[in-house]
Each structure stands twice: as C-alpha cells, then as structure tokens.
Amino acid sequence: MLQEWVIVLTSFAYLGLLFAIAYYADQRADRGRSIIASPYIYSLSLAVYATAWTFYGSVGRAAIDGVGFLPIYLGPTLMIALWWVVMRKILRISKQNRITSLADFVASRYGKSALLGGTVTIIAVIGIVPYISLQLKAVSNSFIILLHYPEIVMPASVGAVPILRDTALWVALSLALFTILFGTRHLYSAEHHEGMVAAIAFESLVKLLAFLAVGVFVTFGVYNGFGDVFSRAAGQPKLEPLLTPIEGVAGGYASWVWLTVLSMLAIMFLPRQFQVTVIENTDERHLDKAIWLFPVYMVAINIFVLPLAFGGRLLFPAGGVDADTFVLAIPMLERQELLALLVFIGGLSAATGMVIVETIALSTMVCNDLVMPALLRMRRLALAQRRDLTGLLLGIRRTAIVLILLLGYLYFRLAGEAYALVSIGLISFAAVAQFAPAVLGGIFWKGATRRGAFCGLVTGFAVWFYTLLLPALARSDWAPRSLLEHGPFGIALLKPLELFGLAGLDQITHAMIWSMIGNVGAYVLVSLLDTPRAEEHRQASLFVDVFRRVAGGARLWRGTASVPDLYNVLARFLGAEAAEAAFAGYARARGRNWPDPQLEADAELVDAVETQLAGAIGAASARIMVASVVKEEALTLQEVRTILDEASQVIVYSHRLEQKSRELEEATAELKAANERLKELDRMKDDFISTVTHELRTPLTSIRAFAEILLDDPDMSISDRKRFLGIIARETERLTRMINQVLDLAKIESGQAEWNVSEVDVGEVIGDAIATTSQLFKEKRVALRTESAPEMPPVRVDRDRLLQVLLNLLSNAVKFCDRPDSKVAVAARVEDGHLRVDVTDNGPGISPQDRLTIFEKFRQVGDTLTEKPQGTGLGLPISRHIIEHFGGRLWVESEPGRGSTFSFTLPLRPGGTGHPSPVLAAAK
Amino acid sequence: MERHEGKGPRLVALFMLGTLLFNYPILALFNQPSQVFGIPLLYAYIFAAWALLIALMALVVERGRTP
Amino acid sequence: MAQKILIADDEPNIVLSLEFLMKREGYEVRVAENGDDALAQVAEFTPDLVLLDIMLPRRNGFEVCQQIRSSPQWRDMKVVMLTAKGRDTEMQKGLALGADAYITKPFATKELVARVKELLDGKR
C-alpha cells in the first residue's frame, strides 16, 4: 500500500532532482558552457506543449470520441512546417529588439504601446488561468486516487473539501514556491533561463517515458498487442462507433478542422510556447532540427493513447471511473504499484513543466507590460527617481507568480468540476488564438496599426469571454443559467452558445468562428482607416523588414540627453554592475574607453540604452523610462517616412557602392598585374636586344678596326696583311653564324619554326652527327665512342633539328676537351618509355652555378683566363628548345674536374608537341 | 540564409500536403469500419500519414543543410 | 721615354687591332684579359692611359675604373672606356666613375687614336 508520505516524498524528491538539474545548468551557463545550446534540448523543451492534459486528458477524450484528440497534435505538426517562414522571422525580430515576452512583442511592434502590452497581458492571464487550474486539478486528482491504492476511488467533489485540506491548494503553493526559485533568480528576462530549460527538457523525457511505459504495459502486458485491443473493442456494441468516429463527434469535420487550426495557433501563441520557442532560443539554427524532432515527440506520446482508451473502457465497463484517470487507474487495477507511482510522477512532470514555464512567462508580462508601465506613469510614486529598482522588479514578478497560481486554484474551485480536462484546455487555446492576427499581421503587414491591433484583440477577447468563459461560469452556477438557455434579457439571438442563431456546432468551433471574424475584421478594418504614428511606422518597418535591414536600422530620434542620465536609468533597473558593463561594451564597440567624458549622448547611445532596458522591463516600459530622461522632439510621420525611405535607399546604394568598389579593386589588381608582366617583358626584351647588340658589335669591331688598319697602311707586309684579312674573314663568318642562330632561336621561340616531323631512327642520326664532326675530333685528338642499344624504336621528330642538337652537343664536348687522353662517349638507350641519349666528356666539368646558366642565351662557360670559348652562346638554348618541342628534356650532369654528361630524352609515343614559348617569355 | 533558399517553399508545400491529408474529403475515404492488421483503418491511416509527413519534413530540413 | 698604354679586353682580335694601332703611334703597350689582371698591371706597369673594355670577365670595367680612381697615386692615369653596349646610361655611369672618355664599339680607328693622343698630350 502506498502511504501518503511515500507519494509526497517521491514528489518532492522528483522536484528536488529537477532543481538540481536546473542548478547545474545555471552553473554551467555562468561558466559559459551552456548545456541547453543544443537542437535536441531545444526540441525537448518545446515538448512543454504536452501537459497533464495530454498525459491524462488525451486518453479521456479518446475514450469518448476516438480520434477526436488528434487535431491537438496534428495542428502543431502542420504549423511547424510553416515555422521556417514564420518563426524564423519572429526569432530574428525578438533577438534584435530584445523581446521579453509575447506581450512585449505585440507592444513593441505597434509603437512600443503600453496599452497593447497591457491588453495582451490581461488576455493572456485570464485565458491561461483555466489551463493552470487544469494542471492543479490533474495533479491533485491523481494524488488522491493514488492515495487510495489499491482501491480505485474517484476524488470527491471539490466543494466538499475545506480549502485548507484541499490538495490542489498545496500543489498550487508548492509550485509557486518552486517557480519563484526557478524563474526569478536572474532579473534580465531577455537572457535565457538556462536552468529552467534544462529542467523542462528533462521533464519532457520523464513524461514521455512514463507514458510509454504504461502504454506498453497495457497494450502488450494486459492485452496482446494493438490488434487484440481493437478487436476486443469491436466486439462491444458501445465501443463500435468509436472505431469510425468522426461523424460521431459533435460538429463532425468542422470541429476537426477548427481544432486543428486552434492548436496550430496555440503552438505559437501560448505564452509558455513563445517563452521556450522564442525567448529561450539560443541559436536560430536549432529550429531546423526541432521542425521534425518535435513532431516525432508528439507521435511518440500519442501512439498508445487509443489502446489505453479502449483498454480503460473494456476494463471499467461500468463507467464509475473517469476516463481522464484511465492512465493511472489501469496500472492500479492490475496491482502494478511501481508503475502507478511512475505514472503519477509522469503526470506531475507534465503539470509542473507547464506551470513553471507558463507562470514565468506570465509573470514577466505582468511585471513588464502591466505593472511597471502603470507604476512609472504614476507621478506620485516618483518611481523614475528612485535609485535602485531591481528589488522592486523581482518583487513584482514573484508576487505575480503567486497570484497567477492562486487564480488558477480559484478557477479550479469555481468551475473546474464542470468540465473535462480537454475542454478546459481548449478554452485557453481559444483565448491565446486571439493573438494570432496581431502577431502574424504585425510581421508581414506594415500597414497594421496600434489601434487596429487593439480593436482586434479586444473584440476577439470579448467574443471569447462571452461564448466560452461565461458559459463555463454559468454551468458552475457562478452566472445565471438562464443566460445559456434564453440569452441575455431573453434575446435568443444573443445566446452565448448559439450566437446570432449559429447552432449545431460544438462550443469551441462556434466560439472560434465568431471570435476570429470579430478579431480579424476589427484588426484589418481599423488598421485600414487609421494613420500610424511615427513610432509605429518605425517599428512596423523594423519588424516587417527584419531580414532586409542591418541590425539597428535607421535611428529616428531628435533631441538632447546626457550620458549620466542615461547611465542612471540603466543602473536603476539593471543594477550598477550590469549598467557599467553595458556602457563599457557600448564604448568598446565604438573604439572608446569607458568612462569617457567625450562619449556623446547621441541617438545611437539612446537607442542602445533603450534596447538594453527593454531586455529587462519590456519595450513599452523602456520607452517611458528613456523618454523621462531625454528631451525629445517629436518627429512627424512625414519625417519618419522620409528617413526610413532614405535609410533603405542608402542601404541599397551602399550595397551597390560596395559591389562597384569591389569590382573596381579587382580590375585595378588585374591591371597592375598585367602592367607588371608587361614591364617585366619589356625589361627582358631590352636585355635581350642589348645582349644581341653587344654580341654582334664585338666581331664587327674587329672587322672594322682591321679593315681601317689595312686601308690606312698600303705598305704593310704581305704576311701581316694576310693575317689581318684572315681575322676579318673569320669574324665575318662568326657574325653570320650569330645572326643565323639569333633568327633561328627567335623563330623557334615565337612558334614560327617549321618542323618536318617523321619517323626517325636515332641511331642513324647519331651516326650522321659523328661523321660530320669526325674531322673536329681528329684535329683535337679526342677519342669518340658510341654505345647504342641494338634495336632502337623510331621516334617522331624533325630529323634535321635532332641532328642540330647532336652536332651542338658533340662540338661543345670536343671544344672543352683539353687533356691528352680526352674522350667523348655517345650512348643511346630506351628508358621508361623514353629514348635517352647521353653525350659524355672527360673535360673540366661545369660548376653547379654554371649548370643552370649555360642554357640561357649568350652565357658561355670557359676558362676565361686563357681563352674565350668559340661559339655564339646560343647553341644550348636552341637545343633545349628543340628537345622540349618534341616533349623531351635536355639537361646536364657534371662533376668539376671529371667531365660532364649532357643528356636528352625523347618520348617514344609523343604525347604532343611541346609548347614553344614566345621569345620574350623565355628570355630570362 | 541565402544557402537555404528553397527550404521555405518546400516546407510550405509540405504544410499544404498535410492540410490535404488530414482533412475532408481524403480523411472520409478512410473513415470506414475496416481494419489493417487488426487496427481500425482510420487510425492506421492517420498515424501512417503523420509519420510520412514528418519524414518528408526531416528530409527537406536535413538535406537543405548541405546543399 | 714612350708613354705607356694598358689594353684591357677579353676579345683577342680586338686586342690585336688595338695593340697594333697603339704600337704604330709609338706607345709602349701591355695587355690584360680580365679585370683582376688589369688591376695587377695597373699597379705594376703604371700606364699613362688604360683602354678599358666594360664587359671584362672576373671584374668588369666599371669596377676597375672605380679602383683606379679611388687610389690617389693613379690620379693622373687616363681611362678610356670601350664598350659594345651603346646605351646612354652606361656612358653616363662610366663618366660618373671618372673615365676620361667613352668610346663605343665598333670605333673608327682614326678617332680612337686621335682621342688617345689628345688625352696623353694634355698630360704632358
């Protein structure tokens, strides 16, 4: 048997665990290592949507009309698909404007209107109170039922219990205390309640697990799977209609559709949903995962609702057990003590989660949008002059929490008995749905005005009150019942449940139709007839164009203020420390120090202070406070329009300008690079010409000098004459050769050379080259050896050009042979798909630094001490060009003192002709 | 934001698909006293369509992450 | 006593022609084939005039000229620069370094001889 103290202790142990989790999360957040900054925690926290109503009430509703409970979860699934378009915008707006609650959002959108903020707050509180009472009812009922374990006894009628012995009261008070501990540790409400979110996410897990546990137990433990439950139910004539249920529901498809619409709006505009989705959001991107994870959660928590409902109906055929308690009653019937306790905890977690977030959200609204603006306007209190208001703010919030929960309890005592859980919840849904036109219209329609929003809200709320709340009170005898039956003053047309004669619908559908017609109609009509004030116009533009504007937007302000005044305002509400930090941050962002006497109280600073303040006390209160220290000149609407238009024009222009200047920069850089290349080419060309000139002038000098000497001296001896004429002849020859080679090189480099490519047997060409140079070798007494592989595949080259290369290499080799035992070897072989030829000598060798330069034009290596080498200095560069043209490589390996080897390769299957580079680019 | 273009319209399309699936007249087609695997047709249909819709939403959202 | 001329050039045939021309005018002639050699001969032979090619191996004509001008004992030594590079900048550079004349190749023999004579006569 479950003792009372066991249940109470377990409950408090559970709450203690929650608090520990919250405490841990807060600690982590203070150290900058947030645990709620995760899309999974975010998605779980959204599941605060599933309250005790889901936990107990879904089964209750399903036991009466089958799938009728599902629109409550299908609606959010549909809505969340639209979040990408809608919620991202709301998130962005809220972050930019430091929105603290739904009321703050509406107030801020319509010109920071305290009137609207207050209206939304009142509607939210009145609308949500039934919903909170529902949670109290669920917790206290489940507690009482569990207390009687193993007997199943329905709780006594509420009125019969004295207030102080009423469990629900104690539940309400405990939850108030708990919420105060949770939610008002920090003042700054635009900041995240990290601890609370972590605890809520944990609660979402607990309630899901508890519900799945009991679901699995009933479906697979008590019965034999889904099919078994349904087939047994099908055997019962009373249950048969539930299996094809939609026509059976009051209102049929109309009711189904309206329930879907209602819950679509609820998922966005319930204060607690707005709190977890918008205010507690740490990263816009978390929305991505939540878009499908949250619906998955809803499917999971609903899978076992129908088996549980049918199971309950089958197990308690007499009807003495309230269907809302099936979830708890079935495990008790089956004597599953622990499971029953787990279910109780699951229900408790569903209820506490809802109550905590809802009351925190509502208390923020009450404080920021209802009480503060009112207090600040009361001159008599001179609140604006008080030094530190942080304590006052916290006090207001805490009081609000207690009052809201007591209101919930009051409603429970007054009207709770008359309705099932689901119906109570739907009344609240219908109330918050009234926010939809003002919010959704506000973020997409710039023309919507403050008066329009106000009229819409009030009309919608009035209809809601008349068609839903009033009947609820009447049924509990707190209002005359005749009102329902005959209408006020006996006017039948005004009967609350059949307004203007609209009958045949269920209560919710009926109320939704009329309230939405009234709300949207008034909103649109009044907005169209109205002219917005300057402040409204500015805010409308900030909200609707949030994705188009840079943060901060246009500053619309003209007036005078002083830095100390602004500082003091902030310090009064946030405390000196936070104000200090805020000003320091502001100064730093502008490259200034704080404190800095030079800091100007300009529009930007005023705006920054107001935004900061709005994060603590809401936009409307912040406006009042800032206005109290700033002498403002009102801007006319025309001026605001002009500034806004100019601002957006300027943004467009500056975007274009940026792009143009980027393009220009790129073009300039390209131009510079091109210019550098040209200069480089120019320089190289200059060098080349200068070198060629020098090389040509040198032989010319000798020729001219000797010609003149001969001309001047007719009496010169014959032998001298012969010697000088010989020099002239040789130098002329050198000049000719040089000119030919320069032209040759120029042709090759510019790609204008002709190439007569054919299959060439390299061995044969080597033979030719040796034959041509044999005289040279003989003269210098240099030995020549050839080593050729026997079967050499032909290569596709220009035979004459290849011969030119070989002649060049051979004559170079012999030229540098200076020893008595000089020898030169020519070797050809196939290697790696290439044909390779080596020309090796045992001459003086080439030093490493010279090995690169010899392939440059006009660079010669020789023993300059003794004699300048013969040749033009163009042979090797030309040879290299030729080999490269055929896709091969020409290089030298050498060891000074031991000789050199010039090698080249030619591809056996030429992959293509090399790319002859233009003259100048190669003229390094 | 720019790299997610296309995600918005796709999700809106899924919203419309969902509206269609969970509404008269399609819902009425399945509102009959027959069963699949022992489960009433309507219940089976709603949960299946629900799961399908969520799967499609997950596909759109997660695919769009790395376009 | 005959005046002394040092010919510094690395092109054998040009050296030959210059040597012939200078000897014909009665000067005592020595030859250097590179920059280092030229400086060594300047110190040893102390010529009255140096015919200095710019594109000398080891140490170019500019450097040799600079060395000569930086030593006070060779202040009176005449330097005639010879080059195949006919650019104005190089001519200016040579003159700035203290060369007495700058002659481009190929030169007119008569002009060269007249110039040398003029410089050496002024010295006498």
Taking only the tens place, the pLDDT of each residue in A556-574 is: 555 667 777 788 777 777 7
Predicted pLDDT at A420: 57
Predicted pLDDT at A652: 67
**By C-alpha distance, which of B29, A727, A473 is closest to C14?**
A727
Distance in angstroms (rounded) separating the CA atoms of residues B11 and A360: 32
Bridge-based pairing state of the strands B39-40 and B35-36: antiparallel
Q: Domain ranges in chain C? A: 4-123
Predicted pLDDT at A456: 93
Tokens 């798909």 correspond to A833
Predicted pLDDT at A918: 37
Lowest-pLDDT range of A44-53, A395-404, A413-422, A581-590: A413-422
Interface check B15 vs A, CB under 8 A: yes
CATH of domain C4-123: 3.40.50.2300
Predicted pLDDT at A914: 41
Q: Which amino acid is present at C33?
A: E
pLDDT above 60 for A188 = no
Distance in angstroms (rounded) separating the CA atoms of residues A533 and A634: 10
Bridge-based pairing state of the strands C78-83 and C49-53: parallel
Reported as a single tens digit per residue, the pLDDT across C47-63 is 999 999 888 888 888 88
Predicted pLDDT at A518: 92
Concatenate the DSSP letters of all residues of chain C into one string: ---EEEEE-S-HHHHHHHHHHHHHTT-EEEEESSHHHHHHHHHHH--SEEEEESS-SSS-HHHHHHHHHH-GGGTT-EEEEEES---HHHHHHHHHTT-SEEEESSPPHHHHHHHHHHHHHHH-
Q: Are A256 and B1 inside 8 Å of each other by CB? A: no
Instruction: Please measure the distance between the N-terminal and C-terminal CA atoms of chain C and give it in whole angstroms.
Output: 12
Coil, strand, or helix at residue A597? coil
Q: Are C17 and A702 inside 8 Å of each other by CB? A: yes
3-state helix, strand, coil split of chain B in percent (to 5) is 70, 5, 25
With b for 16 or more beta-carbon neighbours within 10 A and e for fewer, the A526-563 pattern comes to bbeebebbbbbbbbbbbbbebeebeeebbebbeeebeb
**By C-alpha distance, which of A283, A267, A299, A262 is closest to A80?**
A267
pLDDT above 90 for A131 = no
Q: Which residue of B57, B60, B62 is the best one to mutate when testing the A interface, meaning the one whose CB has the most A CBs within 10 A? A: B57
Choose the closest CB to A865 out of C13, C17, C34.
C34
- pLDDT, greater one: A40 or A863: A40
Residue A204 neighbours by CB under 8 Å, 6+ apart: A44, A45, A47, A48, A50, A297, A353
Query: Helices (H), strands (E): how many in chain A?
Result: 38, 9
Task: Note every long-range contact of A162-171, with CB atoms under 8 Å and residues 24 or more positions apart, other chains counting.
Answer: A163/A413, A166/A140, A166/A413, A167/A139, A167/A140, A167/A143, A168/A136, A168/A137, A168/A139, A168/A140, A168/A409, A168/A412, A168/A413, A169/A409, A171/A136, A171/A139, A171/A140, A171/A143
The domain A4-534 is placed in CATH, from the list 3.40.50.300, 1.20.1730.10, 3.50.50.60, 3.90.1720.10, at 1.20.1730.10
What is the pLDDT averaged over residues A602-611? 78
Q: Which amino acid is present at A276?
A: V
Question: If DSSP states are collapsed to H, E and C, what string results for A602-647?
Answer: CHHHHHHHHHHHHHHHCHHHHHHHHHHHCEECCCCHHHHHHHHHHH
Highest mean pLDDT among A68-82, A640-654, A755-769: A68-82
Distance in angstroms (rounded) separating the CA atoms of residues C103 and C79: 11
Predicted pLDDT at A919: 36
pLDDT above 70 for A633 = no
- pLDDT, greater one: A269 or A815: A269
pLDDT above 70 for A410 = yes
Instruction: Return the DSSP state at A369.
Output: I
Predicted pLDDT at A558: 59
What is the pLDDT averaged over residues A387-401? 81
Instruction: Return the DSSP state at A598.
Output: T
| Interface residues on A facing C, Cβ-Cβ cutoff 8 A | 690, 693-695, 697-706, 708-709, 712-713, 727, 730-731, 864-865, 867-868
**By C-alpha distance, which of A177, A197, A184, A182 is closest to A48?**
A197
Q: A322 with A60: CB under 8 angstroms?
A: yes
Q: Which amino acid is present at A529?
A: L
Joined together, the tokens standing for residue A365 give 């609204």
Predicted pLDDT at B56: 92
Q: Are A867 and C12 inside 8 Å of each other by CB? A: yes
- pLDDT, greater one: A205 or A774: A205
B55: containing domain = 2-65
Bridge-based pairing state of the strands A899-907 and B35-36: unpaired
Domain A754-922 bears CATH identifier 3.30.565.10: yes
- pLDDT, greater one: A575 or A361: A361
Residue A529 neighbours by CB under 8 Å, 6+ apart: none
Cα C67 to Cα A244, A258, C62: the distances in Å are: 116, 107, 9
Coil, strand, or helix at residue A498? coil
- Mean pLDDT for chain A overall: 80
Distance in angstroms (rounded) separating the CA atoms of residues A304 and A216: 8
Q: Domain ranges in chain A? A: 4-534, 558-632, 639-745, 754-922
Q: Which amino acid is present at B32?
A: Q
Highest mean pLDDT among A446-455, A565-574, A676-685: A446-455
Q: Which residue of C21, C25, C83, C105 is the best one to mutate when testing the A interface, meaning the one whose CB has the most A CBs within 10 A? A: C105
Reported as a single tens digit per residue, the pLDDT across A298-354 is 999 999 998 898 888 888 877 677 888 888 888 888 888 888 889 999 999 999 899
Joined together, the tokens standing for residue A714 give 């007719």
Q: How many CA atoms within 13 Å lie on the side-chain side of A283? A: 15
Coil, strand, or helix at residue A837? strand
pLDDT above 50 for A869 = no
Chains sharing 3 or more CB pairs under 8 A with chain A: B, C
Coil, strand, or helix at residue A901? strand
Choose the closest CB to A694 out of C16, C84, C109.
C84
Q: A569 with A630: CB under 8 angstroms?
A: no
Give A74's contacts in chain B (Cβ within 8 Å).
Answer: 18, 22, 46, 50
Joined together, the tokens standing for residue A354 give 């809802």
Joined together, the tokens standing for residue A594 give 């704080």
Reported as a single tens digit per residue, the pLDDT across C43-99 is 888 899 999 988 888 888 888 888 888 888 888 888 998 887 766 677 777 777 788
Predicted pLDDT at A437: 92
Q: Which amino acid is present at A498?
A: E
Q: Are A291 and B33 inside 8 Å of each other by CB? A: no
Distance in angstroms (rounded) separating the CA atoms of residues C13 and A699: 8
Please report which confidence band the pLDDT of residue C3 belongs to, taking 50, 70 and 90 as the band edges.
confident
Cα A446 to Cα A452, A529, A543, A645: the distances in Å are: 12, 14, 8, 14
pLDDT above 50 for B55 = yes
Distance in angstroms (rounded) separating the CA atoms of residues A198 and A213: 23
**By C-alpha distance, which of A67, A148, A475, A133 is closest to A321?**
A148
Phi first, then psi: give them for residue A70, nearest 5 degrees. -65, -35
Q: Are C106 and A701 inside 8 Å of each other by CB? A: yes
Phi first, then psi: give them for residue A332, nearest 5 degrees. -65, -40
Q: A699 with A731: CB under 8 angstroms?
A: yes
Predicted pLDDT at A301: 92
Total Cβ atoms within 10 A of residue A141:
24
Q: A835 with A844: CB under 8 angstroms?
A: no
With b for 16 or more beta-carbon neighbours within 10 A and e for fewer, the A893-908 pattern comes to ebeeeebbbbbbbbbb
Q: A761 with A794: CB under 8 angstroms?
A: yes
pLDDT above 60 for A233 = yes
Give B66 to chain A, closest Cα distance, Å.
13
Coil, strand, or helix at residue A160? helix
**By C-alpha distance, which of A387, A391, A393, A398 is closest to A375?**
A393
ipTM rounded to 2 decimals? 0.91
Predicted pLDDT at A299: 93
> In whole angstroms, what separates CA A144 from the centre of its chain?
48
Residue percentage of chain A with pLDDT more than 70:
86
What is the pLDDT averaged over residues A154-166? 64
Give C76 to chain A, closest Cα distance, Å.
28
pLDDT above 70 for A45 = yes
Q: How many CA atoms within 13 Å lie on the side-chain side of B30? A: 20
Cα C9 to Cα A729, C50, C77: the distances in Å are: 21, 11, 18
Distance in angstroms (rounded) separating the CA atoms of residues A445 and A442: 6
Tokens 């665990």 correspond to A17
**Cα angle A42-A45-A46, degrees, rounded to a multiple of 5:** 90
Is C in contact with B (3 or more beta carbon pairs below 8 Å)?
Answer: no
Residues 37 through 66 of chain B touching chain A, CB cutoff 8 Å:
37-40, 42-43, 46-47, 50-51, 53-55, 57-58, 61-62, 64-65
Joined together, the tokens standing for residue C122 give 């002024």
CATH of domain A639-745: 1.10.287.130
Q: A218 with A304: CB under 8 angstroms?
A: yes
Q: Where does residue A146 rank: exposed (0-12), middle (13-18), buried (19+ CB within 10 A)? A: buried
